[in-house]
A and B are shown apart, each in its own frame.
Chain A
Amino acid sequence: MEAFLNYGFLQRALFAGIFVAVACALLGVFLILRRDAMIGHGLAHITFAGVALGLLLNVIPLAMALGIAVLAALGIMKLKEKAGLHGDTAIAIFSSTGFALGIILATLAGSFSVDLFGYLFGDILTIQESEVWLSIGLAAVVVFTVVLYYRKFMYMTFDLESAKASGIKVGYLDVILTVLTAVTIVLGMKVVGILMVSALVVIPAAAGLQLASNFKQAIILSSIIAVISVLLGLLFAFYLDLPASGTIVILSFLFFCFCFLLKRGKKFF
């Protein structure tokens, strides 16, 4: 344990990982209940184009990814609202297009670099100090905002029309939630990579939802599961020389199985 904490890169990964895990879990609960679980998967793929563009133009890929993710998320939201396109259809169209664009840009940038590999499969252990602070800062903003608005978000998610009729500024809150989602996806991408970000957003929340009987429980349980998955994942990765991202995802899946069985088990008593 001591050795573990003596490594700067591990400490950075731990700090960033914990914050990002909580942000992902919180958002995940809302996304699942809004039937928007796949938005993370889709946004991350679109973000690939941003990362590639950042590498091509030598702009910080994370910043580029953030910009693209926010725009894409707002675009998908508008499409759903105005064009009558089903959410999952919009996601399917834009995620593959974004990924295609990313591949082309990456090739233009001079073949697939190691950097790009990191974005696809996660590179939390190589996270830079500046990125740590950025991640922690953004994750803190996400957590703070969700905590601030969680009752209104809950009302909107549960019954949008009644929330509107109660005079709640649903349009404005929807934009906030969408932007938070985009930011969270990019953060999660840093931890487990574009291809697995869904895992960090959806699996801990799905696990928490198995056992929760009210909203607060769902949020707290999901956060705890996400944090433990990331912590244990990093530990295992370090000591057993496994890839951190994959280990984190597998652990959260095991937590999900555990919660699932516990819930089904409950029914027999």
Chain B
Amino acid sequence: MHSSAVESKTLIALNNVSFSYGSVRVLKDITFFIRKGDFLAIIGPNGAGKTTLIKIILGLLKPSHGEVLILGKRVETFSDWKKIGYVSQKATHVDPLFPVSVRDVVAMGLLSNKKFPNLTKREKVLSIERALKQVGMENFKNWRIGRLSGGQQQRIFIARAIVNQPQILFLDEPTTGVDAETQDHFYDMLDTLNSSERITIVLITHDIGIVNKHVTQVACLNQQLVYHGTHAEFCHSDAFKAMLAGGHHLVSHRH
């Protein structure tokens, strides 16, 4: 009983969040929670506002209405960003000539420690190695990032996002342009992070196939929150049927 109370701890709360780009409304009155241990998929058609929602949660955009709480604090005053990992939708548009090694890239994540990084050099090296091992890329430390494939780069960005051992990891369409087999390994890796490392995962995706196989919670977004609940319930929900029937850009096939 006690442990399930801990399990259901709320990490992120959105209360009546709305957002517009100029006069164009993108999100309307979103209220929902992300709890510790969730593997949440946010799905919805192109332009539904998924990326915008994540950016609001991360404090990169200010909602025009409503509030966001991260670990109990209003996002405007939250400063402990090393507890939050983020891999943006654009992260993999890497300049192939950019002179950074894999190690350099993962080390960037450590900069999120407040003013003076209080880790010793050795601790930093160990953190970087652990993160690379978790994504199965420990043999590529000294490679220039531009020499890796898209899927490998994506793993490096995840390593960067988890190098501080965050409580929650946000991934914005992480497998766009990655081949099917790599995707399978990739989602198995996320499963492991979620179950063994106890990292809460929030995954934006188009792909209902992924949703069916891996996640525990589903949020369906199209300007408004159309549905939010467990995955099992989602499959029987009207939102799901509407989505399959409605010709959205969602795909349910496995490649």
Which residues of A are in contact with B by a Cβ distance under 8 Å? 33, 151-152, 154-155, 158-159, 161-168, 209, 212-215, 217-218
Contact of B101 among A161, A166, A213 (CB under 8 A): A213
Q: Knowing that A151-B107, A167-B79 touch, tell me 17 more A-B residue pairs with CB under 8 angstroms.
A: A154-B104, A158-B95, A158-B98, A158-B108, A159-B91, A161-B90, A162-B88, A162-B91, A162-B157, A165-B58, A166-B109, A166-B111, A167-B112, A168-B112, A213-B101, A213-B144, A214-B99
B100 contact set on A, CB distance < 8 A: 154, 158, 214-215
Closest B residue to A213 by beta carbon equals B144
Measured CB to CB, the nearest residue on chain B to A155 is: B108
Which residue from chain A places its CB closest to the CB of B57 in the assembled complex?
A: A165
A214 touching B101, Cβ below 8 Å: yes
B105 at the interface (CB under 8 A from A): yes
State whether B104 touches A165 (Cβ < 8 A). no
Contact in complex: B108, A151 (CB < 8 Å): yes
Inter-chain contacts of A152 with B (CB < 8 A): 111
Tally of contacts, chain A with chain B, CB under 8 A: 70
Q: Is the Cβ of A168 less than 8 Å from the Cβ of B111? A: yes
Q: Is B245 an interface residue (CB 8 A)?
A: no
Q: Is B84 an interface residue (CB 8 A)?
A: yes
- Which secondary structure characterizes the binding site on chain A? helix
Q: For B59, B99, B101, which residue has the most chain A Cβ atoms within 10 angstroms?
A: B99
Bound CA span A163–B58, Å: 12
Q: Return chain B residues, CB-CB under 8 Å to A217.
A: 99
Among A155, A166, A167, A214, which residue has the most Cβ atoms of chain B within 10 A? Answer: A166
* Contact A165 to B84, CB < 8 A, known contacts A151-B111, A214-B101, A215-B104: yes
Closest to A166 in B: B112
Residue of B nearest to A217 (CB): B99
What A residues does B104 contact at CB under 8 A? 154, 214-215
A261 to B38 alpha-carbon distance, docked (Å)? 53
Chain B residues closer than 8 Å to A165, beta-carbon distance: 58-60, 81, 84, 86, 88
CA distance A158 to B111 in the complex (A): 14
Flag B122-146 by CB within 8 Å of A: 1 or 0 each: 0000000000000000000000100
Interface membership of B97, Cβ < 8 A: yes
Residue in A158, A161, A213 whose CB lies within 8 Å of B88: A161
Q: How far is the CA of A257 from the CA of B99 in the complex (A)?
A: 19
CA distance A159 to B112 in the complex (A): 14
Q: Which of A152, A213, A218 gathers most chain B CB within 10 Å?
A: A213
CA distance A165 to B97 in the complex (A): 24
B91 CB to nearest chain A CB (Å): 6
Shortest distance between the CB of B89 and any CB in chain A (Å): 9
CA of A26 to CA of B171, assembled, Å = 34
Chain B nearest CB, measured from A31 CB (Å):
14
CA distance in complex: A25, B52 (Å):
38
Complex: how many Å from CA A164 to CA B111? 11
B60 engages A164 (CB within 8 Å): yes
**Residues of B close to A218: CB separation below 8 A:** 99
CB distance from B2 to the nearest CB of A (A): 33
A52 to chain B, nearest CB (A): 38
Partner of B99, one of A159, A161, A167, A215: A215
Q: Knowing A166-B81, A214-B104 touch, does A155 contact B111 (C-beta < 8 A)?
A: yes
Complex: A196 Cα to B126 Cα, angstroms: 46
Chain A residues with CB below 8 A from B59, complex form: 165
Residues in B with CB closer than 8 Å to A167 are 79, 81-82, 112, 114
Identify which of B59, B97, B100, B109 gathers the most chain A CB atoms within 10 Å of its CB. B100
Distance (whole angstroms) from the CB of A224 to the closest CB of chain B: 15
CA distance A33 to B112 in the complex (A): 22
Q: Which residues of A contact B87 (CB under 8 A)?
A: 162
CA distance A159 to B145 in the complex (A): 13
Which residues of chain A are near B108, meaning CB under 8 Å?
A: 151, 154-155, 158-159, 162-163, 166
Instruction: Determine the distance from Cα of A162 to Cα of B161 in the docked complex, in whole angstroms.
Output: 9
B23 CB to closest chain A CB (Å) equals: 16
Bound complex: CA of A84 vs CA of B114, how far in Å? Answer: 32
Distance (whole angstroms) from the CB of B87 to the closest CB of chain A: 8
Contact B98 A33 (CB under 8 A): yes
**Contacting pair A212 B99 (CB below 8 A):** yes
Smallest CB separation, B162 vs chain A (Å) = 13
Pairs A-B, 10 closest by C-beta atoms: A167-B81, A166-B112, A212-B99, A155-B108, A165-B86, A218-B99, A214-B101, A161-B88, A165-B58, A167-B112
CA–CA, A161 to B58, complex, Å? 11
